[in-house]
Amino acid sequence: MHEKINRLLTELDSLTAKNAGEVEALRVGWLGKKGSITLLFEEFRQVGAEEKRQFGPQINRLKQAAVEKINALRESMESAGGHKPSFDATLPGEPAPLGARHPLSIVRSEIIDIFKTLGYTVAEGPEVEDDYHVFGALNFPPEHPARDMQDTFFVTAGDNPVLLRTHTSSVQVREMERRKPPIRIICPGRVFRNEAISARAHCIFHQVEGLYIDENVSFADMKQSILYFAREFFGAGVQIRLRPSYFPFTEPSAEVDVSCNICRGEGCNVCKHTGWLEIMGCGMVDPNVLEASGIDSKKYTGFAFGMGIERIAMLKWHVRDLRHYFENDIRFLQQFATA
């Protein structure tokens, strides 16, 4: 018995395990119902009183050693486990929801990029303006109805009241005041009008204004620049047509239509069966406007144009209701995630 105890003690010393499963197998093999130590205890029960006295303490020590050894192995497995990352780096990650650019931002950038290729640079001006830069310098007569409370949000009253700009044409004026021709600018911005909100109108919307002033700038230059824009934006096949119109700051003035990109001119709901869609206003800058901002109208001519970003975006994606652009409904906005 003495020998057996010693052999088990040496064996115990050299025990190793690679994982928790192996530790458990050792525990069963040593201390389980049929484990070496349990069997030894059974044998011990059979021996005489003298031997019991002799081997009792040794067997107890052996059992104690086995328990300690197996506990030590188990602990070392657990602490080794603690150093491993507590997550599985090979599992696919949880996708974070990605935002998307707002459709109006997408269209604004597209418009700017097209005009950049023609040499235009971006200019911006204040949203809170005075009457002079929004109306006066743009040749609006004092009694012009656009100044009426119906259309304009006024901030202060007086001779040159402060107001929220109703169009981005005010940026033209500021640029003409501070630079000499040639001027070739594209002016995106937010504008405000006192309109009832509906599917087709909003009190806040966005425009892009263009202005080109130099010697010998002609109506034909304007037409060609707008045709270039229309084909870049709506597709190589589109046509444009210019209809005579009136704006106080341009003479002559025109409204520009593009051939309907949905029915290709055949007539549909979107173009109201005309085959044409209105996209902007334009014209040759009125000499009064040049002179008001200190530009010699005998030496320089120029053209200007202005379009609504919401309208262009509605035509691009066939959006039927302008209010979608401002409601921030994620289901609407997500549709532009890859646009």
Which class for 298: exposed (0-12), middle (13-18), buried (19 or more C-beta within 10 A)? exposed
335: helix, strand or coil:
helix
Question: How many residues interact with ligand DAH (rule CB under 6 A)?
Answer: 11
Q: Can you tell me which of 209, 257, 286, 310 binds ligand DAH, judged by CB under 6 A?
A: 209
Q: How far is the CB of 264 from ligand DAH (least distance, A)?
A: 27
Q: How far is the CB of 134 from ligand DAH (least distance, A)?
A: 10
- Identify the residue whose tokens are 């270039």: 228
Asked if 229 touches ligand DAH (CB under 6 A), the answer is no
Closest by Cα among 105, 126, 263, 240 to 192: 126
In the range 169-188, which residues lie near ligand DAH by CB under 6 A?
Answer: 169
Q: Can you tell me which of 120, 208, 306, 315 binds ligand DAH, judged by CB under 6 A?
A: 306
**CA–CA separation, 125 vs 179, rounded Å?**
14
- Identify the residue whose tokens are 């003298």: 50
| 162-164/128-130 β-pairing | antiparallel
Asked if 302 touches ligand DAH (CB under 6 A), the answer is no
Q: Which residues pair with 129 in a beta bridge?
A: 163
Residue 181 vs 306, nearer CB to ligand DAH: 306
Q: How far is the CB of 109 from ligand DAH (least distance, A)?
A: 20
Tokens at 72, concatenated: 């030590």
In the range 238-267, which residues lie near ligand DAH by CB under 6 A?
Answer: 247, 250
Closest by Cα among 175, 186, 165 to 295: 175
Find out whether 240 and 257 touch, Cβ atoms under 8 Å.
yes
Residue 152 vs 250, nearer CB to ligand DAH: 250
Asked if 305 touches ligand DAH (CB under 6 A), the answer is yes
Q: How far is CA 153 from CA 17, 41, 158, 299, in A?
A: 82, 99, 14, 37
Residue 30 vs 212, nearer CB to ligand DAH: 212
Asked if 139 touches ligand DAH (CB under 6 A), the answer is no
Residue 103 vs 281, nearer CB to ligand DAH: 281
Asked if 304 touches ligand DAH (CB under 6 A), the answer is yes
Q: Can you tell me which of 282, 289, 315, 322 binds ligand DAH, judged by CB under 6 A?
A: 282
Q: Which residues of 202-218 are buried (b: 16+ CB within 10 A; e: fewer)?
A: bebbbbbbbbbbeeebe
Could you list the residues that contact ligand DAH (CB under 6 A)? 167, 169, 209, 247, 250, 281-283, 304-306
